Amino acid sequence: MLLSNESPKPIYQQIAEGIEDDILTGRLEEGEQAYSTNHIAKVYQINPATAGKGINMLVDEEILFKRRGLGMFVADGAVEKIRQKRKQSFYNDYLIKTLLEAKKLGIASTEILEMIVRYEKGERGSL
């Protein structure tokens, strides 16, 4: 995860999303210990309270849970929860921008669909 002052998202939200990314890609597995507030604070030179806010957001959403005296762990079912949540923002964060760019370039919807099909074929071909 890389933090940016210019992202429209506050730092604590960027931290939460960074941890979610690591869970989605398997860099952090369900049941595994997650990063501590102090560790995040040190690595990114941020206030521990800001890091704590990001972690607490994930605790509230039951993506992380606290084990007394041991620290934060990735909850069972975290991957599925993140997927459900991210699907909702996929349209806002990715699709609208893609479609606007396509419009500027005069790419028709049918052409975009063809690209998707080509991409999927290419993926399979390369595996």
Partner 1 sequence: MKNAIDVNNLTKEYRNIIALENITISCTHSKIYGLLGRNGAGKTTLMHLLAGQLLPTEGSINIYGENVYENKETLNKICYVGPFSNINNYVKTFRVRDFLKTASLFYPDWDQDFADRLIRLFSLDIKKHYRNLSAGMLSMVAIVISLASRAPLTLLDEPYTGLDAAARQEFYDILAEDYSNHPRTIIFSTHLIDEASKLFEDVILLHQGRILLQEPIETLEESSFMVSGDEEKLKSMLSNKKVINIEYMGRRATYSLFDTLSEPEKTVLTQADLEIRSLTLQQLFVYLTANKEGYDVKF
Q: Which residues bind partner 1 (CB under 8 A)?
A: 3, 5-12, 37-38, 41-42, 44-50, 53, 92, 96-97, 100
CA distances from 64 to 4, 40, 41, 84 (A): 23, 15, 18, 16
State the nearest-atom distance from the C-beta of 57 to partner 1, in Å: 11
Q: State which residue, 14 or 75, has the beta carbon closest to partner 1.
A: 14
Which region holds residue 33: left if phi is over 0, alpha if psi is between -120 and 50, else beta? beta
Q: State which residue, 45 or 126, has the beta carbon closest to partner 1.
A: 45
Q: State which residue, 50 or 75, has the beta carbon closest to partner 1.
A: 50
Which region holds residue 94: left if phi is over 0, alpha if psi is between -120 and 50, else beta? alpha
State the nearest-atom distance from the C-beta of 91 to partner 1, in Å: 8
Q: What share of the chain is helix, strand, coil (3-state, %, to 5)?
A: 65, 5, 30
State the nearest-atom distance from the C-beta of 6 to partner 1, in Å: 5
State the nearest-atom distance from the C-beta of 72 to partner 1, in Å: 15
Q: Per DSSP, what are the bridge partners of residue 67? A: 71
